[in-house]
């Protein structure tokens, strides 16, 4: 979905031709994977940070086109709304000082972005859901000036026969509303982590990433508020799932945004076969690239938002590779916090993928999915099931089981010892304090009986300090 398109209206013939090419590329993918033609290089990491542009009144600032023009940085690109942008990281081998290299790259780009934003009477902010965003902000007038977004919205509404989207979220409070387009999706911003794997390890890493999703989101919640309603620790999850619902799949696992249908068994091809079988084409853009670039297959995959999503990319020499996009984490609260979350993901995924007996053989997909939604709802207060079948509170599980596993995984990757200690110590302190971004937002709001404007001002002040969220004062 990162590529621009040159049209927004499509006839039946275009859909049929796209479907033909998609079928051909899916079959080609089956053959190339069965022949072992994909890259044997791994493990390589990367990230995408979606962030908010906020004005000096702490409301969304819809200036991303002018901001990006002035910034002129190819690693910073459009997002769905005019008040969001995305910062991308260069891929790095996961060894040695990879985590600090990611930190310094992101911090450097972030500061450059802030300098430009300040010159435009705005500020950049990383948070899962901006507390001051209003439903009126999430309108087509604030959609970014890219045809792919308008085409996607038009196709979504056509599939729904013009029916509005219905958002219904039960959390600490209740939210029930209708919305006329897909712009509600823009209220949810994330920190997405990429993990490239050698082909022979890809299934293990994909399944490990699914198992890791619950513990990962439990320790990282930063999205409790939407339109002044206190909902889930990670309200992004139900919001995104409902904001692009086209109603063509009664099975929840088959929806455009979901936790998926199950583990991969023999090959990640299974995910792309599911895409073809279960999801209608939304953007039938016909491209001139050769089939071995999988352009139509990759675009189709980009309109299906599994929380753990397989991707196809290419090594510098043109060899196709497989990577996993871990999409569950929110933006923020600080770069330090996000790097600690990144260390947890890479370490835990490595540990689980390297176990002598694959944990997915005994730990069911249903349990992994239940963990994910329980953690998204209740964060560190959730009850999670783990590999031995026991159920325990998230904080105990993270301290006693998950962090030691992540440490072993990072050591196996040969990450520098001081980087392992630094990042896991941050997580340990966060868990022991019980203060995630979501917990801090709720506590500040309750202590001062503050409105969203004061909450955002206080959050921004602490984010600027760079201190990890467990150190934030109320």
pLDDT of residue 1: 42
- Would you give the DSSP letter of residue 437? H
List of E strands, 64-110 = 76-78, 84-88, 92-93
Q: Residue 4's pLDDT is what?
A: 46
Q: What is the SS3 assignment for 100-156?
A: HHHHHHHHHHHHHHHHHHHCCCEEEECCCCCCCCCHHHCCHHHECCCHHHHHHHHHH
How far apart CA 165 and CA 420 sit, in angstroms, is: 44
Angle at 61 between CA 339 and CA 306, to 5 degrees: 45
Cβ partners under 8 Å of residue 62, min gap 6 = 53, 81, 82, 83, 137, 142
Q: Residue 297's domain is classified under what CATH number?
A: 3.30.590.20
CA–CA separation, 83 and 50 (whole Å): 10
The answer to whether 263 and 176 have CB atoms below 8 angstroms apart is: no
Polymer length of the chain:
474
Q: Which residues pair with 258 in a beta bridge?
A: 306
Helix axes 417-433, 98-118, angle to 10 degrees: 70
| DSSP code at position 468 | -
Rounded Cα–Cα distance for residues 375 and 395 (Å): 11
DSSP, res 57: T
The Cα-based distances of 171 to 168, 174, 296, 329 in angstroms read: 10, 6, 39, 19
> Distance between CA atoms of 391 and 383, rounded to whole angstroms?
6
Residue 457 lies in a domain: yes
- Distance, in Å, from the CA atom of 336 to the CA atom of 346, rounded to the nearest integer, reads 15
pLDDT at 254: 61
User: CA of 253: how far to CAs of 259, 264, 288, 304, 310, in Å?
Assistant: 6, 14, 33, 11, 15
C-alpha dihedral (86, 91, 96, 100), degrees to nearest 10: -20
Lookup: tokens for 97:
């000082």
Q: How many CA atoms lie within 13 A of 394 on its CB side?
A: 28
- pLDDT in tens for each of the 474 residues of the chain? 445 455 556 889 999 999 999 999 999 999 999 999 999 998 999 999 999 999 999 999 999 999 999 999 999 999 999 999 999 999 999 999 999 999 999 999 999 999 999 999 999 999 999 999 999 999 999 999 888 888 888 888 888 887 889 999 999 999 999 999 999 999 999 999 999 999 999 999 999 999 999 999 999 999 999 999 999 999 999 999 999 887 655 555 568 999 999 999 999 999 999 999 999 999 999 999 999 999 999 999 999 999 999 999 999 999 999 999 999 999 999 999 999 999 999 999 999 999 999 999 999 999 999 999 999 999 999 999 999 999 999 999 999 999 999 999 999 999 999 999 999 999 999 999 999 999 999 999 999 998 999 999 999 999 999 999 999 999
Q: How many whole angstroms separate alpha carbon 39 and alpha carbon 349? A: 19
Structural domain includes residue 372? yes
- Phi and psi for 220 in degrees, rounded to 5? -125, 10
Count of the separate structural domains present in the chain: 1
How distant is the alpha carbon of residue 136 from its chain centre?
24
Does residue 7 fall inside a structural domain? no
Work out the angle between the directed axes of helices 202-218 and 365-378 (0-180°, nearest 10). Answer: 30
Provide the pLDDT for residue 2: 47
CB 308 within 8 A of CB 290: no
Give the closest residue to 32 by CA, choosing from 334, 290, 305, 240: 290
pTM, rounded to two decimals: 0.96
**Is there a domain that residue 285 lies in?**
yes
Residues 6+ apart with CB under 8 A from 136: none
Which residues form the domain of 455? Answer: 12-466
Q: Determine, yes or no, domain membership for 472.
A: no
In whole angstroms, give the CA distance from residue 212 to residue 214.
Answer: 6
Asked if residue 269 lies in contact with residue 276, where contact means CB atoms within 8 angstroms, the answer is no
Tokens of 454: 């004061």
Q: What is the dihedral of CA 47, 87, 136, 241, to 10 degrees?
A: -10
Is 411 contained in some domain?
A: yes
Q: Which two tokens stand for residue 77?
A: 């690109």
Q: Which residues of 212-228 are buried (b: 16+ CB within 10 A; e: fewer)?
A: bbbbbbbbbbbbbbbbe
Helix (H, G, I), strand (E, B) or coil at 23: helix
Q: For residue 198, tell me if it sits in a domain.
A: yes
Residue 2 belongs to some domain of the structure: no
């Amino acid at each position: 979905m990162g590529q621009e398109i040159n049209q927004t209206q499509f006839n039946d013939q275009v859909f049929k031709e796209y479907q033909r090419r998609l079928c051909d590329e899916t079959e080609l993918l089956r053959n190339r994977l069965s022949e072992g033609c994909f890259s044997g290089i791994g493990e390589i990491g990367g990230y995408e940070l979606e962030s908010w542009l906020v004005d000096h009144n702490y409301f969304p600032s819809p200036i991303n086109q002018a901001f990006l023009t002035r910034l002129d940085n190819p690693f910073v690109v459009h997002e769905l709304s005019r008040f969001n942008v995305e910062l991308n990281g260069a891929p790095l081998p996961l060894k040695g000082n990879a985590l600090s290299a990611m930190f310094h790259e992101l911090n450097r780009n972030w500061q450059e972005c802030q300098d430009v934003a300040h010159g435009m009477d705005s500020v950049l902010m990383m948070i899962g859901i901006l507390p001051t965003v209003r439903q009126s902000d999430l309108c087509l007038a604030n959609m970014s000036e890219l045809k792919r977004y308008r085409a996607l919205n038009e196709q979504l509404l056509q599939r729904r026969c013009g029916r509005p989207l219905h958002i219904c979220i039960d959390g600490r409070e209740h939210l029930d509303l209708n919305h006329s387009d897909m712009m509600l999706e823009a209220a949810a911003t994330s920190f997405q982590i990429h993990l490239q794997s050698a082909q022979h390890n890809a299934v293990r890493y994909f399944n490990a990433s699914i198992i890791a999703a619950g513990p990962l989101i439990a320790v990282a919640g930063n999205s409790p508020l939407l339109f002044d309603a206190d909902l889930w620790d990670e309200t992004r999850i139900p919001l995104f799932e409902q904001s692009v619902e086209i109603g063509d799949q009664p099975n929840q696992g088959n929806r455009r945004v979901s936790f998926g249908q199950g583990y991969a068994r023999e090959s990640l091809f299974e995910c792309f076969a599911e895409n073809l079988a279960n999801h209608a084409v939304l953007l039938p853009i016909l491209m001139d690239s050769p089939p071995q670039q999988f352009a139509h297959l990759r675009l189709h995959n980009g309109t299906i938002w599994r929380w753990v999503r397989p991707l196809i990319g290419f090594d510098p020499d043109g060899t196709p590779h497989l990577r996993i996009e871990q999409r569950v984490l929110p933006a923020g609260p600080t770069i330090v916090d996000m790097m600690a979350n990144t260390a947890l993901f890479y370490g835990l995924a490595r540990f689980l993928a390297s176990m002598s007996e694959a944990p997915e053989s005994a730990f069911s997909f249903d349990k992994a999915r239940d963990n994910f939604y329980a953690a998204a709802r209740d964060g560190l207060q959730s009850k999670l099931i783990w590999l031995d079948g026991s159920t325990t509170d998230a904080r105990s599980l993270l301290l006693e089981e998950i962090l030691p596993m992540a440490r072993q995984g990072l050591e196996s990757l040969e990450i520098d010892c001081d980087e392992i200690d630094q990042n896991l110590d941050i997580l340990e302190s966060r868990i022991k304090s019980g203060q995630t971004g979501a917990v801090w937002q709720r506590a500040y709001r309750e202590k001062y009986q503050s409105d969203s404007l004061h909450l955002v001002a206080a959050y921004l002040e602490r984010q600027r300090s760079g201190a990890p969220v467990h150190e934030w004062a109320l």
